[in-house]
Structure 1
């Protein structure tokens, strides 16, 4: 059963998220020498850009120079395009971290969808030598009002993918249509998944995912780590249709 935490405001949620990332980084660096982090885009980018740098200042053991950062999905647009997840993180968050900063893996610009997915999967496999499926220390994910996560959309054939770890998306219902996304086998291999949802538009779908478990399962309801931990972080508006008490951010 996933853990669910509800915060009175997006600001308190953001502070708690940043603290959890910093704590996970410090623990991973202390135990294994590096911290592997997968990031989703959208509203997570400005949230982390605002909250994570000060949280890291209070956690010197987190050491961003020992991080490996990858992106859970990417739109196939130039890095400077406003829809680029990697471009947004480089401009808003990674540029704030002390040099030399993390090692960053990303989709290679200029490739077609299938080639970009193959290249990105090869990058990930090289970064996790000896593992059949790379196991990230932490993946930060979002969920859309339709229940999608990463670029895995309701009813899409990629929800059944069992072999490839990264796949192209040619027909995303959200623009731009061409994307690359991690698949469920890779997502569910992570040691820890944090799913963040804010705003009233998410309330109906969160009720479906967390309390009703309607069939067929929505993409975000298929986040079920094989041996890791799953935790949802919600603000009051997103959790409005759930019967869950609020948490305070200390």
Structure 2
């Protein structure tokens, strides 16, 4: 894979040398993980980035996820390449967290096309870590439709069928929304489960959240012009009037999203091109929900395919397979 930097006018800058760099781990608390034998292009880069566990390697673009808006934008030639790099990044983040002082890796998942993408790539990417490491993953969901787990619209139900059946993550470490409760109670029940899982945190701090974005700019179940965009007290909120069916849902709120250590937005297809230009380039008086996701101290990254990125003029890094 090669990486090319694209400037504001779309011209190709100096391509990054071939190869992979270890991704800078956002989980590090205190000293960096030991065994810094990952692949680096030169010793100067090694000194700048520190090290992570050997065997988990990512494109250079993933090394320096930028904190300022709009964050680092990585564009892939296809959704298949995007999915493979996303899965590698998840495995890399988990390895860094578990190699350090922290006892677990916390991951928040979103639904939609991300389910099939992660189901296709993550089992292979995570396999080198082994069952013992995967047993230390804790999973939550960024939002959930209030339908039975067997329903085709259930985010957890889809992950259970297509991904979790292939990963040795204990059921007790998968935090779910109870669809049998009324929506208000389901939201409070999920909030209580998160508080129990993230004891000591006033607001749950996920190591990694993977978010999607809709053609209208919504993310999770936070929709444009909805009162939930102003929610600052609750960590989980119910929604009974979703403009996208089904109407009853439970969602993480912006304070939780913006507390995450790392956030990755994923968007593919021409249908997302116009809204991505608005989110990443336009300064609107009433920003779209996805534009309100700005981690306070964490890292923000966008993974796009070429079709979704076709209208962008802001700098991005383009990845292609040689």
TM over 0.5: yes
Q: What are the residue-to-residue correspondences of 1:4-153 with 2, within 5 Å?
A: 4-31=73-100, 32-60=102-130, 63-98=133-168, 100=170, 103-153=173-223
1:102 deviation in Å?
Answer: 7.1
Structure-2 separation of matches of 1:47 and 1:162: 32
Moved more, 86-95 or 25-34: 25-34
In structure 1, the gaps of 5 or more residues are none
State the match for 1:188 in structure 2: 258
Q: Report if aligned partners of 2:269, 2:308 keep a CA contact under 8 Å in 1.
A: yes
Do the aligned partners of residues 175 and 99 (structure 1) sit closer, same or farther apart at CA in structure 2, a change above 3 Å counting? closer
**Map 1:202-221 → 2, pairs under 5 A:** 202-221=272-291
The CA deviation string for residues 6-43 of structure 1, in whole angstroms up to 9 with x for no partner, is 00100110011000000001111122120000000000
Larger helix share, 1 or 2 = 1
- Answer yes or no: is the 8 Å Cα contact 2:178–2:190 preserved in 1: yes
Distance change (3 Å), C-alpha of 1:54 and 1:78: same
Figure out how many residues of one structure are paired with residues of the other and give that number.
250
Check whether the contact 1:29–1:62 (CA below 8 A) recurs between aligned residues.
no
1:246 maps to 318
Q: TM-score, normalised by structure 1?
A: 0.96
Helix, strand or coil at the partner of 2:318: coil
Output the CA distance in 2 between the equivalents of 1:200 and 1:60. 37
Q: What is the CA-CA distance between 1:78 and the residue it aligns to? A: 0.3
The TM-score, its normalising length taken from structure 2, stands at 0.75
List alignment gaps of at least 5 residues for structure 2: 1-67
Residue 62 and residue 56 in structure 1: after superposition, are their counterparts in 2 closer, same or farther (change >3 A)? farther
